[in-house]
Amino acid sequence: MTVLDKFLHGDQSALARLISFIENREDGYKRLLARLYPLSGNALRFGFTGPPGAGKSSLVNAVARRLVADGKRVGIIAVDPSSPFTGGALLGDRIRMNELPTDGSVYMRSMATRGSSGGLAAATNNVAVALDAFGFDYVLIETVGVGQVELDIIDTCDTVVVVLVPESGDAVQALKAGLMEIADIFAVNKADRPGARNIIAALQNMLEIKAEHSPWKWPVVPTEAIHDKNIDTLLEQILAHVAYSRESGLFERHRREQIRKKIFAILATQLKAAMEEKLNVKADLDHIVTRIYQGETDPYTVGDELLKLTQSE
């Protein structure tokens, strides 16, 4: 049996190998994805984002356990580009794995691709396709909500939970900064801490205005992930969002838009590679770079000239 056959038969070690294959963009990974893609599309994808220390991992674990208790199978992708500084990723993985069922109902994958060749958002999306194709009912994606790449990642989810904590004192800032646009649900985790009421009230105040002309009323759910408190309510709200999203047509529109973006991203990558190859053959790039380096011209003027060259046969 090939690794792909084993994957199709539900072998998790084959899954792990194929994910590595995809993540490392090994030769043939696109063909593999082309095989897996039509098998995907069944899993619901939920994103969890928020500041470091908000307890996202615990919350995602708690949600996963809750789903498993309902007989569902769950894949988790944990994206932590900040791990090099905290050194937490590896140790954290071990701790969080202990919290998860070991009967194969949950599979957890860390993406620690910092310093790699980039394309983290694309890689995360590809891994989600693999988990989806493998047959998980839900794919939970967890990432620190800072930076454009993280926004791109979270944008590939059907429903997005923004996780805040009482200490953040950041509700207003978070909303101002564009998180509002990606959040479908707010979880105020560690809700037993002082200040929880304040941040919930502040959030509700702001959301009231936003929700005035919207059929979706953004819920704010207090949670205590490590005590498994209110996870039911959070999950209910997530599923309510999925139901609203499906009924309103938002779900399909959103997924179609994701497909469209994916096509454009694939094409852009290929065009870029083709362009670089063509320029390396056709243009005297060294000479052009020298002229720019010496201040005789600039990359924008040169860009216009080269564009014509790349478009000629």
Contacting its own copies within 34-53 (CB under 8 A): 34, 37-41, 50-51
- Interface region with its own copies, contact rule CB under 8 A, candidates 5-13, 70-78, 218-226, 264-272: 264-272
- Interface region with its own copies, contact rule CB under 8 A, candidates 13-21, 58-66, 140-148, 223-231: 140-148
Instruction: Measure the CA–CA gap between 40 and 58, rounded to whole angstroms.
Output: 27
- Interface region with its own copies, contact rule CB under 8 A, candidates 5-13, 93-101, 171-179, 237-245: 171-179
Q: Pick from 151, 211, 226, 242: which binds its own copies (CB under 8 A)?
A: 151
Please list every residue from 266 through 305 that binds its own copies, using CB under 8 A: 266-268, 270-272, 274-276, 279, 285, 288-290, 292-293, 295-303
Residue-by-residue DSSP string for 171-219: HHHHIIIIIHHH-SEEEE-STTSTTHHHHHHHHHHHHHHHHTT-SS---
The two three-digit tokens of residue 53, written as one number = 């220390």
Phi then psi for 45, rounded to 5 degrees?
-115, 120
Residue placing its CB nearer to its own copies in the complex, 101 or 147: 147
Q: If binding is defined by CB under 8 A, does position 12 make contact with its own copies?
A: no
CB of 133 to its own copies, least distance (A): 10
Q: How does strand 220-222 pair with strand 44-50? A: unpaired
Which residues, 6 or more positions from 238, have their beta carbon under 8 angstroms from its beta carbon?
46, 63, 159, 161, 185
CB of 117 to its own copies, least distance (A): 9
CB of 205 to its own copies, least distance (A): 17
Q: Pick from 114, 137, 155, 204: which binds its own copies (CB under 8 A)?
A: 114
Residue placing its CB nearer to its own copies in the complex, 150 or 224: 150
Number of H helices, E strands in the chain: 15, 7
Binding residue count for its own copies, defined by CB under 8 A: 80
Which residues, 6 or more positions from 88, have their beta carbon under 8 angstroms from its beta carbon?
80
Decide if 219 contacts 237 (C-beta within 8 A). yes
Decide if 129 contacts 37 (C-beta within 8 A). yes
Instruction: Measure the CA–CA gap between 51 and 134, rounded to whole angstroms.
Output: 30
Q: Is 159 helix (H, G, I), strand (E, B) or coil?
A: strand
CB of 101 to its own copies, least distance (A): 29
**Max Cα-Cα span within the chain:** 68
Residue placing its CB nearer to its own copies in the complex, 247 or 305: 305
Q: If binding is defined by CB under 8 A, does position 254 make contact with its own copies?
A: no
Q: If binding is defined by CB under 8 A, does position 82 make contact with its own copies?
A: yes
CB of 75 to its own copies, least distance (A): 19
Q: Pick from 1, 232, 264, 277: which binds its own copies (CB under 8 A)?
A: 264
Q: If binding is defined by CB under 8 A, does position 103 make contact with its own copies?
A: no
Residue placing its CB nearer to its own copies in the complex, 24 or 297: 297
Instruction: Measure the CA–CA gap between 202 and 207, rounded to whole angstroms.
Output: 9
Q: If binding is defined by CB under 8 A, does position 245 make contact with its own copies?
A: no
